[in-house]
Amino acid sequence: MLKVREDMLDEYKKHHEAVWPEMLEALSRTGWHNYSLFMAGDGLMFGYFEAEESLEVSLAGMEDEDVNGRWQEMMAPYFEVPPGALPDQSMLELQHVFFAE
């Protein structure tokens, strides 16, 4: 979960309508599959993805991707995170507690 600044919601969404192909390739290469972002009207965002191994392993893989550093720096101003923190360093992992099929 992360929070996008309310005054930047539209611009943030536009970036995600055209995610860089090299970023998508890096996500796939580092184990991020079925990745979705959901956003409430106030900018509270929930992200979901299926990791090949774990969130930690997938995040570590992305740390080695040059494109990720550039993407995180571009996205940093959109989020309500501590000064100097990058969005992918501020994610909160949620525990799965229920599923119905």
Cβ distance 23 to 71 under 8 Å?
yes
CA atoms 66, 71, 77, 79: torsion sign: negative
pTM: predicted TM-score of the whole model, two decimal places: 0.80
On the question of pLDDT at 1 being above 70, the answer is: yes
User: Would you state the pLDDT for residue 93?
Assistant: 74
* 16 given a catalytic annotation: yes
Give the integer Cα–Cα distance in Å for 59 and 72.
Answer: 12
pLDDT in tens, 4-59: 999 999 999 999 999 999 999 999 999 999 999 999 999 998 888 999 998 889 98
**Which domains does the chain possess?**
2-89 (3.30.70.100)
Catalytic residue among 15, 16, 33, 96: 16
Residue, of 82 and 67, whose pLDDT is higher: 67
